[in-house]
Copies of this chain bind each other. A is one copy, B any other.
Amino acid sequence: MKEVTTRDQIVAVADQMFYQQGYENTSFADIANAIGISRGNFYYHFKTKDDILEAVIDRRLQDRKDMVAQWDADEESPEIRICKFIDILIVNGEKIKKFGCPIGTLSSELAKLNHPNQDGANALFGLFQAWLRCQFVALGREDDADYLAAHLLARSQGVAMLANAFQDDEFIRREVEQMHGWVAAQAALPGRGATGNC
């Protein structure tokens, strides 16, 4: 029975609003109103807006760590695990169509703001990059695991971006299908295919 603290509420709502409206376009007042607390109370929990962003990024990092940990625990083949990553595009398809990828759009926004927390946002990319890398190593592709991970990350980002711009479900489905095929092809290439974890 975990109690929901005001701080948690703030971070949760900020997470959502930063995603849907952007970081800069979300004000203290927006978040306070959404929760139903006073603007002043805010300052007790977070001294600056940047502090909130940091907490939001930590939250997202934890979320994603939990997600890949769950995938790892599922004891499937690395190929299937990679496909679970790809399938995020379909599972979260509606939100992606409306708001893009939460990781990519945040990274892009902070880059333009030249924001001190850029590195934090990019750590989200790094998390998936490292995890995907492990999966490709497990597929026996240790030589270019880094590149394959980045490649898949980039393709996912591109699909999210165009899905957002064009509002196109069919395009997402088709790209996901293609990427599944690509993963299978990568898996078939070398002889190895070990299933051990990183």
Q: Which residues of A contact B (CB under 8 A)?
A: 20-22, 24-25, 98-100, 104-105, 107-109, 111-113, 121-122, 125, 147, 150-151, 153-159, 161-162, 164-166, 168, 171, 174-175, 178
Q: Would A154 and B175 count as touching, CB distance under 8 A?
A: yes
Q: Would B157 and A108 count as touching, CB distance under 8 A?
A: no
A158's contact among B25, B107, B156, by CB below 8 Å, is which?
B156
Given A111-B99, A174-B147: A122 in contact with B21 (beta carbons within 8 A): no
User: With the chains together, A155 CA to B166 CA distance in Å?
Assistant: 15
Give the chain B neighbours of A165 by CB distance below 8 A: 104, 107-108, 111, 121-122, 125
User: With the chains together, A10 CA to B125 CA distance in Å?
Assistant: 36
User: With the chains together, A133 CA to B156 CA distance in Å?
Assistant: 21
Given A105-B108, A108-B100, A109-B22: A162 in contact with B171 (beta carbons within 8 A): no
Number of this chain's copies in the assembly equals 2
A164's contact among B108, B113, B155, by CB below 8 Å, is which?
B108
Question: Which B residue sits closest to A171, measured CB to CB?
Answer: B150
